[in-house]
Amino acid sequence: MSAKTYPVLKSAKNRTLMDNDTYQKWYRESVENPERFWDKHGMRIDWFKPYTKVKNTSFTGKVPIKWYEDGITNVSYNCIDRHLKAHGDDVAIIWEGDNPYIDKKITYNELYEHVCRMANVMKKHGVKKGDRVTIYMPMIPEAAYAMLACSRIGAVHSVVFGGFSPDALAGRIVDCESTFVITCDEGVRGGKPIPLKENTDTAIDIAAKNHVIVNKVLVVRRTGGKIGWAPGRDIWHHQEVLTVPRDCPPAKMKAEDPLFILYTSGSTGKPKGVLHTTGGYLVYASMTHKYVFDYQDGDVYWCTADVGWVTGHSYIVYGPLANRATTLMFEGIPNFPDAGRFWEVVDKHKVNIFYTAPTAIRALMGAGDEFVKRSSRSSVRLLGSVGEPINPEAWEWYYNVVGEGRSPIVDTWWQTETGAALITPLPGATDLKPGSATRPFFGVQPQLVDNEGKVLEGVADGNLCIIDSWPGQARTVYGDHKRFVETYFSTYKGKYFTGDGCRRDEDGYYWITGRVDDVLNISGHRLGTAEIESALVSHHLVSEAAVVGYPHSLKGQGIYCYVSLMAGEEGTEALRQDLVKHVRREIGPIATPDKIQFAPGLPKTRSGKIMRRILRKIAEDDFGSLGDTSTLADPGVVDDLIANRQNKA
């Protein structure tokens, strides 16, 4: 990895919110006296009733995590109402359609009305505080309205990425027993329609078989395409909003009342419903948004994520709007109509802060510099990266070609569970090293441990833990607190274990090396190998499957599947295609297998455990160093696996 250091860069305005001395001072206070630090910064949001208790957290026992517990507030009030008096006509959301000729701007005043009306529609149809509402939407402003409307009335939203299949959507509806769904007729991406309503209909049927009955589906009209309609259950958004008042008082929410559930993959079992709460989450999301992105009044800020992921929650909707930012929502994809789209949009809307994922950067780098160079990008003063480790080559390209050496890159490391960024440079304060997420944000105490849990000091390579709570941390797994404690706090007692490997260098900088568990990171999307395996074995010809990741030049990691078939079945090309289709249907296109190897046997220990280490090596075409295979029940299977590997150099 490159150790080249880039100096602190000032913004184009030649003024940043942070400098290194202030960072050091604040960081020291934040870990030496977290109570005082977070007491002060908790006041960055408005409280109907201010808190008197700040931090009440423990990483042992039942792992109770409470921040600002006696404070009363409301997230949508903080993201909208409090800005209206002086800034109601400022632009809250710039929406850029998939079609480059379509866009619109929504002011804070307009946002207020849209959100209140949608909240009133939900109330009219019986949604109450604490109810779970599933949002299955494309990247249109109504997705943000829906989230904010939930928070306005105290309903708990569960946003499901529009690229997930009906099966995946159904699983998420059932898990949190959500009886109200918000969707749209069709999404549009890259000029192609996505049948969201049709998928929703299918998902609702599957959910009903699992005893969860969806009563109402609020349908936003996006394309006007033909869709099925269940009278009495389905209601049109554009009709309903006209039947309700334009004001809706914000519900008084306790700081620890749930705000949202977001399903994410782990190493075992079904995706977990990670639960975030109200007060601490908003304090932390908005504070990181301000300092990590150096957000200053009037800046146009663009995060290219989808609201279906945590990045979209914290850094398209909640963080920016709480800071009264102008946040850009993009419906499309980076290469439609061509690979210059991002930079065209940057010029069109004079974007100052641009935040995207390494997988997009690598793809655009591959398309060639001409696409970048035909734009000016002169408005840009800060670039960001998130989702997976950024390889130094992509970092350099992003910095030099896109940023023309003018804009710092904030490589932000975080997770669905952390709510917002934990390890990241701060513009104006942090020297950059390509590929390193650099230093912890305020209040964050990283620690590296070896596999036995021994704490590693100084320069080291180990498993990344965080040893004390921060306000944006997830509080539980919805409906399964035991799983929360077991997954995150039992591997290393008393510490939050991230599942990531990490190196700390001589300057105390952190370099995330990727997951050390059975979670894959495909184009910045988290997928559990267990989920893909269970999709594969649900195919009637498959008897067993094991899935591993391998390095992929564009996606970061690719999906490599070893599949054993039912006795007498033959692994044909047609079956391979069918399995690919099957997995896409079960989970969604993001889980599309890259390689499928038919394997008569999988390498197992005598106790029947699949030795993934061996499968990973073979998938990486690195079978010279398989290590000890003598403990295998049948060492012979390895030769066949090697001979038939799909990644031959």
Stretch that binds ligand WTA, among 58-66, 212-220, 385-393, 489-497 (CB under 6 A): 385-393
Q: Which of 412, 430, 445, 523 binds ligand WTA (CB under 6 A)?
A: 412
Q: Which is nearer to ligand WTA, 131 or 517 (CB)?
A: 517
Stretch that binds ligand WTA, among 49-57, 154-162, 453-461, 511-519 (CB under 6 A): 511-519
> Which residues does residue 91 pair with via DSSP β-bridges, in sequence order?
107
Q: Which is nearer to ligand WTA, 222 or 526 (CB)?
A: 526
Closest distance to ligand WTA from the beta carbon of 169 (Å) = 18
User: Could you give the C-alpha distances from 622 to 151, 626, 635, 645, in angstroms and in order?
Assistant: 50, 8, 17, 11
Q: Which is nearer to ligand WTA, 42 or 471 (CB)?
A: 471
Q: Which of 75, 94, 300, 386 binds ligand WTA (CB under 6 A)?
A: 386
416 binds ligand WTA (CB under 6 A): yes
Q: Which of 310, 364, 619, 637 binds ligand WTA (CB under 6 A)?
A: 310
Q: Which is nearer to ligand WTA, 68 or 414 (CB)?
A: 414
Stretch that binds ligand WTA, among 60-68, 158-166, 382-390, 531-539 (CB under 6 A): 382-390
Q: Which of 120, 158, 352, 415 binds ligand WTA (CB under 6 A)?
A: 415
Closest distance to ligand WTA from the beta carbon of 387 (Å) = 5
Cα–Cα distance, 387 to 512 (Å, whole number): 11
Cα–Cα distance, 57 to 97 (Å, whole number): 43
How many residues bind to ligand WTA according to rule CB under 6 A?
23
Tokens, residue 93:
């959301």
Q: Which of 16, 311, 359, 564 binds ligand WTA (CB under 6 A)?
A: 311
Q: Which is nearer to ligand WTA, 81 or 294 (CB)?
A: 294
199 binds ligand WTA (CB under 6 A): no
Residue 370 contacts by C-beta under 8 Å, 6 or more apart in sequence? none
502 binds ligand WTA (CB under 6 A): no
Q: Which of 271, 308, 334, 499 binds ligand WTA (CB under 6 A)?
A: 499
> Which residues does residue 414 pair with via DSSP β-bridges, in sequence order?
none
Strand pairing category for 382-386 and 353-356: parallel
Q: Collapsing DSSP states into helix, strand and coil, what is residue 557?
A: strand
Stretch that binds ligand WTA, among 16-24, 215-223, 514-522, 595-603 (CB under 6 A): 514-522
Cα–Cα distance, 521 to 536 (Å, whole number): 19
371 binds ligand WTA (CB under 6 A): no
523 binds ligand WTA (CB under 6 A): no
**Number of H-type helices and E-type strands within the chain:** 21, 31
Q: Which of 521, 523, 529, 557 binds ligand WTA (CB under 6 A)?
A: 521
408 neighbors 382 (Cβ within 8 angstroms): yes
Single-letter amino acid, residue 532? I
Burial class (CB in 10 A: 0-12, 13-18, 19+), 10: middle
Tokens, residue 645:
């590997």
411 binds ligand WTA (CB under 6 A): yes
User: Could you give the C-alpha distances from 523 to 248, 266, 269, 386, in angstroms and in order?
Assistant: 40, 16, 21, 11
Cis peptide bond upstream of 337, omega within 30: yes
Neighbours of 235 (CB within 10 A): 17
Closest distance to ligand WTA from the beta carbon of 311 (Å) = 5
Q: Which is nearer to ligand WTA, 138 or 271 (CB)?
A: 271
Q: 3-state SS of 130-162?
A: CCEEEEECCCCHHHHHHHHHHHHHCCEEEECCC
Residue 502 contacts by C-beta under 8 Å, 6 or more apart in sequence? 446, 448, 461, 462, 463, 464, 510, 511, 512, 513
448 neighbors 455 (Cβ within 8 angstroms): yes
State the DSSP code for 530: H
Q: At what angle do helices 166-175 and 196-209 cross, to 10 degrees?
A: 50
Closest distance to ligand WTA from the beta carbon of 315 (Å) = 9
264 binds ligand WTA (CB under 6 A): yes
Q: Which of 37, 77, 413, 492 binds ligand WTA (CB under 6 A)?
A: 413
473 binds ligand WTA (CB under 6 A): no
Closest distance to ligand WTA from the beta carbon of 554 (Å) = 16
Among residues 239, 246, 220, 240, which one has the least CA distance to residue 116? Answer: 246
Site string for ligand WTA, 387-406 (x = CB under 6 A): xxx-----------------
Q: Which is nearer to ligand WTA, 306 or 586 (CB)?
A: 306
Q: Which is nearer to ligand WTA, 68 or 302 (CB)?
A: 302
590 binds ligand WTA (CB under 6 A): no
Which residue ranges make up the site for ligand WTA (CB under 6 A)?
264, 309-311, 386-389, 411-416, 437, 498-500, 512, 514-515, 521, 526
